[in-house]
Amino acid sequence: MKKIIYIILSLLTVVSAGCRKDLLERNPTAYPSTSTFWLTEGDALAALMGNYSVFRPCFDRDYHFDGHGDFLKVYNVGAAPISIAVNNPSNYGGGASALYRALYGSIVNSNYVIENVSNRLLPNAKTDASKKNLEAIIGEAKLLRGIAYFRLISLWGDVPYIYKIAKEPIEVDTLSRMPIARVKDSIYADFTYAYEKLPNVAEAKGRAGKPAALSFRGKLQLFWGSWKKHGWPELEGFVQSQTEATSAFEGAAADFKKVINDFGLTLFRNGEPGEWGEMGKADVLPNYYYLFIPSTGNLEPGSEMIMVLTHGGNASNQSEEYMRVWTGVSVGLSQNQVVARYEIADRYQSTITGDFLPKMIQMNPATNPAARTTPNSAVNPESYRNRDYRMKATLLWDYEKIMGIGTTEVTGFVPFIYKSWGARVTIDGTSYTTFNDNTTNLSGIEERKFVRNYGGQNRSSGDYNWPLMRLADVYLMYAEASNEVYGPLPDAIELVNKVRHRGNLPPLAASKTGSPIDFFNAIEQERIVELFGEGQRTFDLRRWRALERVFGPAYGDGKWFQDTYGNNWERFFFNAPELTYQRCYIYQIPETERVRNKNLSQNIPWR
Q: In this prediction, what percent of the chain has a pLDDT beyond 70?
A: 92
End-to-end CA distance of the chain: 20
Q: Which of helix, strand or coil describes residue 437? A: coil
pLDDT, residue 438, reads: 78
Three-state DSSP class for residue 320: strand
Confidence of residue 202 (pLDDT cuts 50, 70, 90): very high
Q: Tell me what percent of the residues of the chain surpass a pLDDT of 90.
A: 87
- Do the strands 400-405 and 395-396 form a parallel or antiparallel pair, or are they unpaired? unpaired
Neighbours of 66 (CB within 10 A): 25
How distant is the alpha carbon of residue 515 from its chain centre?
29
3-state secondary structure of 54: helix
Q: What would the pLDDT profile of 59-69 be if each residue is shown by its tens digit?
A: 999 999 999 99
* Segment 121-142 mean pLDDT: 97
Phi-psi region of 71 (alpha: psi -120 to 50; beta: other; left: phi over 0): alpha
Query: Cα separation of 203 and 49, whole Å?
Result: 12
Cα gap 519→87, rounded to integer Å: 31
* CB contact at 8 A, 524 and 63: no
Comparing 3-7, 36-40, 195-199, which segment has the lowest mean pLDDT? 3-7
The burial class, CB within 10 Å (0-12 / 13-18 / 19+), for 495 is buried
Distance CA 211, CA 473 (A): 13
Q: What is the pLDDT of residue 189?
A: 98
Q: Domain spanning 2-198+587-606: which CATH class is it, in words?
A: mainly alpha
Residue 142 has pLDDT above 90, yes or no: yes
Listed in sequence order, the residues at least 6 apart from 428 whose beta carbon sits closer than 8 Å to its beta carbon are: none
pLDDT score recorded for residue 589: 97
Distances (CA, A) of 494 to 251, 256, 355: 20, 14, 17
Asked if residue 579 has pLDDT above 70, the reply is: yes
Q: Helix (H, G, I), strand (E, B), or coil: what is residue 4?
A: helix
| Structure-model confidence comparison of residues 24 and 118, the more confident one | 118
Question: What was the pLDDT predicted at 522?
Answer: 98
Amino acid 351: pLDDT: 98
pLDDT given for residue 33 in this prediction: 66
Q: What is residue 80's predicted lDDT score, i.e. its pLDDT?
A: 63
**The pLDDT of residue 81:** 75
DSSP string, 334-401: ----EEE-GGGGGGSPBTTTSSPPPPPBP--TTT-TTTTTSTTBTT-GGGGTTB-HHHHHHEE-TTEE
The rounded distance, in Å, linking the Cα atoms of 279 and 384 is 9
Q: Residue 407, class by beta-carbon neighbours within 10 Å (0-12 exposed, 13-18 middle, 19+ buried)?
A: exposed
The per-residue pLDDT for 24 is 33
Query: Which amino acid is located at 169 in the chain?
Result: P
Residue 17 has pLDDT above 50, yes or no: no
Choose among 100, 95, 82: nearest CA to 1: 100
3-class state of residue 274 by DSSP: strand
What pLDDT digit, counting tens, does each position of 428-444 carry? 999 999 999 878 899 99
* Cβ contact 230:249 at 8 Å: no
CA 408 – CA 460 distance, rounded (Å): 10
Q: Would the pTM of this model clear 0.85, i.e. be above it?
A: yes
Q: Distance between CA 510 and CA 81 in Å, rounded?
A: 47
Per-residue pLDDT, averaged over 456-462, amounts to: 94
Query: Is residue 14's pLDDT more than 80?
Result: no
pLDDT higher than threshold 70 for residue 32: no
In the chain, helix, strand, coil percent, each to 5? 45, 10, 45
CA distances from residue 310 to 53, 120, 272 in whole angstroms, order as listed: 10, 29, 25
Give the CA diameter of the chain.
80
For residue 60, give the nearest of 449, 472, 465, 448 by alpha carbon.
465
Phi-psi region of 282 (alpha: psi -120 to 50; beta: other; left: phi over 0): alpha
Q: What is the mean pLDDT of the chain?
A: 92
Say which DSSP state 284 is in: S
C-beta of residue 124 within 8 angstroms of C-beta of residue 100: no
pLDDT at 252 over 50: yes
What separation in angstroms does the CA of 520 have from each of 241, 246, 254, 491, 539? 20, 16, 18, 15, 16
CB within 8 Å of 595: residues ≥ 6 apart: none
Over residues 547-551, the mean pLDDT reads: 98
pLDDT computed for residue 18 by the predictor: 36
Q: Say which residue, 11 or 183, is predicted with more confidence.
A: 183
The stretch 130-149 carries a mean pLDDT of 98
Residue 315 is predicted with a pLDDT of: 83
SS3 324: helix
pLDDT, tens only, 78-120: 666 788 888 899 989 999 999 999 999 999 999 999 999 999 9
Domain boundaries, the chain: 2-198+587-606, 287-301+311-461
Lowest mean pLDDT among 116-130, 292-306, 472-486, 535-549: 292-306
Mean pLDDT within 412-416: 98
- Cis peptide, bond prior to residue 81, ω within 30 of zero: yes
Tell whether the model's pLDDT for residue 169 goes beyond 90.
no
Contact predicate 157/231, CB 8 Å: no
- C-alpha dist (Å) from residue 421 to 228, 393, 441: 49, 22, 10
pLDDT for residue 301: 63
Q: For 441, phi and psi rounded to 5 degrees? A: -80, 115
> Is residue 564's pLDDT more than 70?
yes
